[in-house]
A and B are shown apart, each in its own frame.
Chain A
Amino acid sequence: MTTAAATTGARTAKAKPATMAQALGRALRDSMAEDPAVHVLGEDVGTLGGVFRITDGLAREFGDDRCTDTPLAEAGILGAAVGMAMYGLRPVVEMQFDAFAYPALEQLFSHVAKMRNRTRGAMPLPITVRIPYGGGIGGVEHHSDSSEAYYMATPGLHVVTPATVDDAYGLLRASIASDDPVVFLEPKRLYWSKADWSPDAPAEVEPIGRAVVRRPGRSATLITYGPSLPVCMEAAEAAVAEGWDLEVVDLRSLVPFDDATVAASVRRTGRAVVVHESTGFGGPGGEIAARITERCFHHLEAPVLRVAGFDIPYPPPMVERHHLPGVDRVLDAVARLQWEAEG
């Protein structure tokens, strides 16, 4: 239990630049060290350490039985994890890329999401499904999908996506510790983003289901998560020159959805733009905009807008930058809120 003490942040250790990938790997390692029930399984997670090296060193430290290279079969991997969880283990499954998870969707939708409900609470499944997701790294087709809407639409699953190094560690620890299944979406273009972070004294992270205001502001709220957070932060800084003081809310968790934090922000600012790179039609933004409208209608001075990826299959890498919502597109949306500059 030495790592448990370490994770409370009781000791202060010097923070050095660390990547999100390193923080995720450390979260896996600490979870495995703390709880022998935690098992990592997937394709290439052992000897290779995962194609993104998130599981690097785990097989060496904990053995092949705790960090297992499986046959290449996503339904089999997740299906086996269901059985392992039924026997009291806490499997953490890696789906190598977003679109590679699709063969496992039946297992996810029909069993992982529903087992607690089907058995009236007798058999919860504490499974974490790690899925690197989203574009922006020049991946060829089937390597850049943003599938969060499918998971959000499936009752019984938690859907979590970190955008910072601190959250990558804290939310993955919380997901593995959760008695409910968690789809843990890792924004792969942020894998190499850095922050000062100490593995010996990681920051406290709120439990799953709390959004956070990353940048306070008074003029409008940008609501975002995962890979689009840095875009929104940059847009908010750029907007200062135009006299716009944008608030940025990082959802961190799509299910459960933190209505309170989002509504409180929009009531303060009166205007909202939802930003994500998943498709707009049928995407998370529609749900979020509807929830805001239901709660904040009398506070709104403009319709809730969405800035999303186009409603197209994910494009080839040479043109993906035109598809991904960037700073300019966010600022255009802010302008469409029929802005009246303050002061």
Chain B
Amino acid sequence: MTVQELPGAAAYRPTPPPAWKPLTDPAPLLPDPEPYRVLGTDAAADADPELMLRLYAELVRGRRYNVQATALTKQGRLAVYPSSTGQEACEIAAALVLEERDWLFPSYRDTLAAVARGLDPVEALTLLRGDRHTGYDPREHRIAPLCTPLATQLPHAVGLAHAARLKGDDVVALAMVGDGGTSEGDFHEALNFAAVWRAPVVFLVQNNGFAISVPLAKQTAAPSFAHKAVGYGMPGRLVDGNDAAAMHEVLGEAVARARRGEGPTLVEAVTYRMDAHTNADDATRYRTDSDVEVWRAHDPVTLLERELTGRGLLDEDRIEEAREAAERMAAALRERMNADPVLDPMDLFTHVYAERTGQLREQADGLRAELAAEQERHGEHGAEDGR
């Protein structure tokens, strides 16, 4: 059928499309191609010594926390632990740039960020211990539950930040995701919503090189994750994720920008996961020791230690002091995690709905009877068991 044959075609006068005009100049949104660094550069001279020392103490504690938590998996005290060893600078910076009223949206690997924000380390580990899904009140700490599905916490951060702004509250949400998580649809939807709504959100992509075993080259064809920002109409920043001072500065700027009402920022931290995906993973199947060694030379703790020592801000005594504080934290964590949690099976029905449905009441009655029978059997054999 030709155009002339279409009904009403004689009256049809196509108007030319208006000249394409981008809404914003993309140049300021694009990241610098080289990850931003502070340590070992001239910028380090401007960094606040007190902040650097605080970052150092937190990094040392954070490293010790990762090592201790991994050890707890070997003792059967934790069901699983996805270590962030090597990524401590990202975790610590994410926690420290937020004000108390702000919100953190961690992924399952970001226990350390939650702890650095002030969450009780034992409460932070309940999910991974297997006794409770979330051991803390998210509203009290302004930390969303550690999120196991990938990238699904990102739209929550956007919605929360949006709601806070609608209420006139000066609140920023910082959402953390891994390189693998950027391939999920929720990553795209969250960034798009945030940009359209100009929501006060900071997205932090920790590019640690692998999504379990899948390397970066098989995850994305983009020049960097930070480059994705321009497509949404928000600035992207690329930063050395092992440089705690650079992380703090870039995330701090992004948080300030969000607080000023200028909208979201996408920050990509280039880092490396020194341990396996979790204690249950065998990383030797997809990478070699020599791959890891390259990054060991770029360890976040060493980088900062070298900078501070070189500038005379840190000596052996202060290093020892930080290590001892970290040991005390680890010892306390070990001790508390050695206590068996006391769980009431009847709690299974407690928090499904505000009010139990008839179905759940029936099932709760059934379990109560089972428990009573169990108790009775246990009582009969109790003397033999010596309990």
Question: Across the interface, do B158 and A86 meet the contact criterion of CB distance under 8 Å?
Answer: no
Known contacts A83-B163, A257-B357: A106-B350 contact under CB 8 Å: no
- Chain A min CB distance to B23 (Å): 15
Question: Across the interface, do B144 and A86 meet the contact criterion of CB distance under 8 Å?
Answer: yes
Question: Across the interface, do A76 and B192 meet the contact criterion of CB distance under 8 Å?
Answer: yes
Specify the main secondary structure of chain B where it touches its partner: helix
Q: Taking CB as reference atom, which chain B residue is nearest A87?
A: B163
Tell me how many residues of B have a C-beta within 8 Å of chain A.
42
Which residue, B137, B144, B156, B159, has most C-beta atoms of chain A within 10 A?
B159
Question: Across the interface, do A79 and B359 meet the contact criterion of CB distance under 8 Å?
Answer: no
Pick the residue among B144, B193, B358 that contacts A80 (CB under 8 A). Answer: B193
Give the docked Cα–Cα distance between A235 and B352 (Å). Answer: 38
Give the docked Cα–Cα distance between A230 and B189 (Å). Answer: 40
- Chain A min CB distance to B138 (Å): 5
- Chain A min CB distance to B38 (Å): 32
Which residues 152-188 in A have Cβ within 8 Å of B in the complex?
A: 155-156, 158, 178-180
Q: How many A-B pairs with Cβ below 8 Å?
A: 144
By a CB distance below 8 angstroms, the chain B residues around A73 are 189, 192-193
Question: Across the interface, do A106 and B152 meet the contact criterion of CB distance under 8 Å?
Answer: yes
Give the docked Cα–Cα distance between A189 and B196 (Å). Answer: 34
**A 240-264 to B, binary, CB cutoff 8 A, 1 in contact else 0:** 0000000000000001111110000
Tell me how many residues of A have a C-beta within 8 Å of chain B.
49
Does A110 make an interface contact (CB < 8 A)? Answer: yes
**A 71-88 to B, binary, CB cutoff 8 A, 1 in contact else 0:** 101011011111111111
Does A289 make an interface contact (CB < 8 A)? Answer: no
Does B7 make an interface contact (CB < 8 A)? Answer: no
Q: Taking CB as reference atom, which chain B residue is nearest A156?
A: B352
Which residue, A85, A91, A122, has most C-beta atoms of chain B within 10 A?
A122
Does A333 make an interface contact (CB < 8 A)? Answer: no
Does A103 make an interface contact (CB < 8 A)? Answer: yes
Give the docked Cα–Cα distance between A261 and B278 (Å). Answer: 51
Question: Across the interface, do B350 and A76 meet the contact criterion of CB distance under 8 Å?
Answer: no
Give the docked Cα–Cα distance between A156 and B163 (Å). Answer: 24
Q: Taking CB as reference atom, which chain A residue is nearest B126?
A: A120
**B 128-162 to A, binary, CB cutoff 8 A, 1 in contact else 0:** 00001110111110001100010010111111111
- Chain B min CB distance to A248 (Å): 22
- Chain A min CB distance to B167 (Å): 7
Which residues 158-173 in B have Cβ within 8 Å of A in the complex?
A: 158-164, 166-167, 173
Known contacts A80-B193, A83-B163: A116-B155 contact under CB 8 Å: no
Does A34 make an interface contact (CB < 8 A)? Answer: no
Give the docked Cα–Cα distance between A118 and B132 (Å). Answer: 8
Q: Taking CB as reference atom, which chain B residue is nearest A209?
A: B357
Question: Across the interface, do B134 and A75 meet the contact criterion of CB distance under 8 Å?
Answer: no
Q: Taking CB as reference atom, which chain A residue is nearest B350?
A: A121
Does A329 make an interface contact (CB < 8 A)? Answer: no
**B 107-139 to A, binary, CB cutoff 8 A, 1 in contact else 0:** 000000000000000000000000011101111
**Would you give 24 A-B contacts (Cβ < 8 Å), ordered by A?**
A73-B193, A75-B155, A75-B186, A76-B190, A76-B192, A80-B155, A80-B156, A81-B159, A82-B156, A83-B173, A86-B139, A87-B159, A107-B152, A107-B155, A110-B149, A111-B149, A116-B353, A118-B133, A119-B137, A120-B347, A122-B139, A122-B140, A256-B353, A257-B358
